[in-house]
Structure formats: structure tokens, C-alpha cells
Amino acid sequence: MYEVEVKVRADHDDVRDLLAELGAEPVNAVTQEDTYYDAPHREFAETDEALRVRSETPEIETPENEGGSEADAEPFAELTYKGPLVEAESKSRREVETAVEDGASADAILDALGFDPAATVRKDRERFALDDFTVTLDSVDGLGEFVEVETETTEDDEALEAAREKAYEILRDLGLSPDDQIRTSYLGLLLERESDD
């Protein structure tokens, strides 16, 4: 499966109002901690790949997840591999993920295999469903506020292009410009900021 994602910096208050006008459905609000790993056998920064363990904790008492299921209210962890970007116009890439019973145990396994924790990205997220897409309002520690529009599709070029164009359309409907898209991951942005300090 491939993830098509476009991301821009944006003020969340303005976007929330437009999401409501467009009829977007609140999905949930969560806090995520993503621990990224360096591989012992290749340099992910050079290959444009990523390996992470994500721990997610729901914010149970919020209007955003009021209609959510019991599963939405349970903390969970997942292991994710992200492949290199497959096109220049968006952050589309192969993504493989699986739930893990315990994030700390996944970390211990990766450590035993020689994968070293490289950095941790912490963010608060509000998710909304709109036209088979997820619109996410991210507040990222050390970076600020962002809006992501994403969906999953097949590797087929036409499917990737159609999903990307629809994501652009949603951005424009939210008063945002695809021209302001940021293709660098939050991890990359944090590492850039640290190197500038």
C-alpha cells in the first residue's frame, strides 16, 4: 500500500472552522511519540527510508473523539517502515505498518538487532474524515502547527496522481496552497532545526 500525503504549515483555528463548513467528521484526538531508528546495515538518511515505533495515547475527554469506538480510546503501539518518496509532487511512499503489543518490547528487539534510536518526535493530533481522506491537525513539539491531508492507494501511477490531485483540492478548500507543501518529514525538520542551532 502507498500513502499519499501533503503537508503545510497552517493555523489550526482557521482550518477547524473550514473543516466544519465542509462537513468533515471528527475522528479522534491523540498524542503520539514516534521513535525513529538508525539501521546498522545502511544509512536511512541517504536511502530516504525510515523505521519507527509509534506509541499513541488517545485524549479521551475531547469533542473530537466523542463518537469514537472503544478501540479509539485504547493506547497502542505500531512498527512502521517508510520507503523512499516515489514522486516529486507529494510525500507519496510505500508504507508498511503493523501493531505491536508493547512499544518498549519492540524497542528492545530493535536494540538487540543493532538498530539505535536516532530521535523522538512528539505531537498532538486531531483527525478528521473528509471524502475518503484524513485531514490531520498536528501540533509538533519544537516545530509548531501543520495540516496533513492523506489517503492510501495502490502503486499505480494514475491512482497516485488522482489521490494527490484530490489532496491538493482539499487543501485549497481549506484555504491552503499546495505550493506551500513541505515534503520533509517532522523528523527531518527537527534534525534541520537542531543543526541550525
Look at residue 197 in the predicted model and tell me its pLDDT: 66
Catalytic residues: 36
Structural domains in the chain plus CATH codes: 2-196 (2.40.320.10)
Q: How far apart are CA 97 and CA 100, in angstroms?
A: 9
Look at residue 66 in the predicted model and tell me its pLDDT: 52
Look at residue 65 in the predicted model and tell me its pLDDT: 43
Best CA proximity match to 148, nearest among 4, 2, 1 = 4
Strand partners, 137: 126, 147
Per-residue pLDDT of the chain (197 residues; tens, 9 = 90+): 888 999 999 999 999 999 999 999 999 999 999 999 999 999 998 999 999 999 999 985 544 445 544 445 688 999 999 999 888 778 788 999 999 999 999 999 999 999 999 999 999 999 999 999 999 999 999 999 999 999 998 878 888 889 999 999 999 999 999 999 998 899 989 988 887 76
